[in-house]
Chain A
Amino acid sequence: MNSSRLMIIALGSAALVNILNVTLIGILNATVAKLTATEVRRGWERLPHALLCLAARRLRADLREDRLAEWAGELHELLSHPHTRPVTRLVHSIHYALGLLRVAPSIARAGTRPDQVTRSPEGSLLPASLRGCWHREERVPDRFMFNLVQLPPWFGGAYALPSPCRARRHP
């Protein structure tokens, strides 16, 4: 009688431990998955910002901050659009930034007069993440398109330019 009771208690506690284990592993998995997804999403969201910085490098020096501030405001709208899915938003924002990267020289050539440029103390028009981003030195020497993105810090992260952009950079 006693031994059967002990067996029942042992089995019960083993089952309880198993349930606890499964619950904890489930919570841990969900947390890690969520953290990873957030990290990946943030990493990808840096791409359009990095592309806008590259586009700004292709403008005249006096236009850069003003235009980049305008583009950053619109990019924020694109990335926070409530009625589109995250992947669609990201695709739209990359398309937006790539379009500007392509036509930045023609925007620079449009002949914007100095009085049409918004003046402000150095860098104050821009979100902190974009201030002076066109000054960042490249640390990754490769010329692959992957270098366009801001690499994570453990990878020696910095904006890097492919050679065609570097060649056309204005002083």
Chain B
Amino acid sequence: MQPHPIRITVAVATVLRMFLDDVAQPRYGYELMQVTGFPSGKLYPILARLEAAGWLHREREIIDASLVGRPPRYWYKLTEHSIAPARHELAALRQQMTPATGTAGRTHPEVGLA
């Protein structure tokens, strides 16, 4: 099933890139906060939107909390069908953000040619 389209902002792209670095690697919320530098108030709504749209899959660790002495954590992974669209969206965003070469992209005249 294809994921639903969502608005890819720079913040969303940053999160997606973390997942694309190693698609097999599950990521925890706190870990993502550390690597992206996003606070919880910014990261968790993005994760919730990506999960609701079918881009991310969230799952609970299977552990015995009383044995390991800590509550179980939840990890996120890209869904199988979202890997290609995520790569495509990142490439499109990168292209959009790359400054144009040649005269077409200039916003001011070159100094010293007047």
Binding site for B on A (CB under 8 A): 69-74, 76-78, 80, 95-100, 102-103, 106-107, 110-113, 116, 118, 125-127
Contact = CB atoms under 8 A, between A and B. Distances in A.
B39 A116 contact: no
B72 A99 contact: no
Interface of B: 28-30, 33, 39-42, 44-45, 48-49, 51-53, 58, 60-61, 65, 70-74
A77 B74 contact: no
Q: Give the interface centre of B40, B70, B71, B74 by most chain A CB atoms within 10 Å.
A: B40
A110 B49 contact: yes
Contacts of A73: 61, 70-74
B60 A107 contact: no
A111 B44 contact: no
Contacts of A106: 45, 48
A113 B51 CA distance: 9
B29 A99 contact: no
B48 A70 contact: no
Given A107-B48, A113-B52, A116-B51, A76 B71 contact: yes
Nearest to B46: A110
A112 B56 CA distance: 11
A34 to B, nearest CB: 22
A99 B71 contact: no
A102 B41 CA distance: 7
Given A95-B39, A100-B40, A112-B52, A69 B72 contact: yes
A99 B73 contact: no
